[in-house]
A and B are shown apart, each in its own frame.
Chain A
């Protein structure tokens, strides 16, 4: 029966092992990224990246759009119920516009992509590990990081900020629909107020967060996949772990970034 100290020690070592693995993979992944670039990289990897962009981005458009519309309505309604007590219902526009651009757009998108694509990365690579396809890549003198991970990495880095921008637009649109039925405000005036409330820092901080979330989702999903040992059951575990860990790390990273932006006066 392991003692408490042994358990704590083992878990600490596992944590260091995981963080170390993630860091090493990130370094190797950044080096492998060049292979997926157009013109200077490998043509086949770029084609794979475009396919990934379609799967991660285009296929996720309805889901991200709908989630953001719903979240926009919720935020506007919750905000309005408090703000109207002070006769400040107009500030719902600022709340939705700033809230989505800085925070909700990137975060909701990252959670959706983590659940949808992070799990798919892990399942795909995990299955390749189980069926010896990764070994086959090694013996055919391919680098699995370039072959499997680089297209996913590049695609997510490009697609996540785009999806976040769409999420922002949908959230702000939902805010207008609510405000239209509450105050009969026109779309042009609503957008003028919304754009007045947003500054460039908000947009940039949202995009920086999106890039960080993209790195987390790809690296965690791929690491969980590459660590699969055993059979199909292990693939299932790794898929669950990929979603849980990447979502957790996305929220932790969001808190850190928000704190940095807050204390440095960027927000």
Chain B
């Protein structure tokens, strides 16, 4: 039985369909990369997997619970088995890095403060920030913030670790270090990892399987090799970094023609 199962997921905003009947199974212990261009719906899909939004229809089943339909208490229980590292880090600026990591432990467990301190130190050690625990988020670099966010996501030893654009805004070396960290976490803790990204190098480095999203639908779901060898023109365009300008220019040309003929007014 898959750990995460998405069935016929439909999401609409103001009548505009953003996700169109998605189906996806993510097995325990695998790293699934949700790959796609801007506006393809990958972040929306991620927000539904972590229960931040409820879909128009369909199911998002995490550990046997449909989080699109479950009670708030059940959702709370499921959420404790998911760790999320947000794109911006989403660390609390009023707390130090170590207090950020300690927060879920202090609130959700009855552990002694000395044990919590030890656990926080270990989590920070794993992400290479053991010496920076006393600093505030605004005092550390972008890459360090992302690693601190990973440490906080790991605090309650979740079964599922979710990354939203882990490489975004980082230089190639720091991005590669973060990829290594994801691989290390998966190896060390046998976690199920879900990563949303549009970075090809990163995706092919860390993924066991890749789900390729395009305009709210999956073009393909498969292993790295299957995606690499795909002959689908839209996947090839994305993988070969071919800009999709022809349709855009054709539309602009038509608009200009209509404007010159007085059929269209500028708004």
Interface residues of A (CB under 8 A from B): 42, 44, 131-133, 135-136, 138-142
Contact = CB atoms under 8 A, between A and B. Distances in A.
B104 A139 contact: no
A139 B76 contact: no
Given A131-B90, A132-B90, A133-B90, A139 B106 contact: no
Contacts of A42: 107
B79 interface: yes
A131 B82 contact: no
B107 A132 contact: no
B23 interface: no
Contacts of B21: none
Given A139-B79, A141-B79, A132 B108 contact: no
B84 A136 contact: yes
Contact of B76 (A44, A136, A141): A141
B80 interface: yes
Contact of A135 (B76, B90, B104, B107): B90
Given A133-B92, A136-B84, 14 more contacts: A44-B106, A131-B90, A132-B86, A132-B88, A135-B52, A136-B91, A136-B92, A138-B79, A139-B50, A139-B52, A139-B82, A139-B84, A141-B79, A141-B108
A131 B107 CA distance: 22
A138 B104 CA distance: 12
A140 B80 CA distance: 6
Contacts of B77: 141
A129 to B, nearest CB: 11
A137 B47 CA distance: 14
Given A132-B86, A132-B87, A132-B90, A139 B51 contact: yes
B107 A44 contact: yes
6 A-B pairs with the lowest CB-CB distances in the bound complex, closest first:
A136-B90, A132-B90, A141-B79, A139-B84, A141-B76, A132-B86
Nearest to B76: A141
A132 to B, nearest CB: 4
A136 B52 CA distance: 10
B202 to A, nearest CB: 20
Nearest to A130: B88
A135 B106 contact: no
Contacts of B104: 140-141
B126 interface: no
Contacts of A133: 90-92
Contacts of B50: 139
Contacts of B86: 132, 135-136
Nearest to A138: B52
Nearest to A142: B107
A139 B91 CA distance: 13
A142 B76 CA distance: 8
A140 B91 CA distance: 12
B103 interface: yes
A136 B88 CA distance: 11
Scoring A44, A136, A138 by chain B CB atoms within 10 A of each residue's CB, the highest score goes to A136
A219 to B, nearest CB: 21
B142 to A, nearest CB: 13
A171 B103 CA distance: 44
B7 to A, nearest CB: 22
Which of B90, B92, B104, B107 has the most chain A CB atoms closer than 10 A to its own CB?
B90
Nearest to B108: A141
A42 B76 CA distance: 17
Interface in B57-88: 76-77, 79-80, 82, 84, 86-88
B69 to A, nearest CB: 17
A140 B106 contact: no
Contacts of A141: 76-77, 79-80, 104, 108
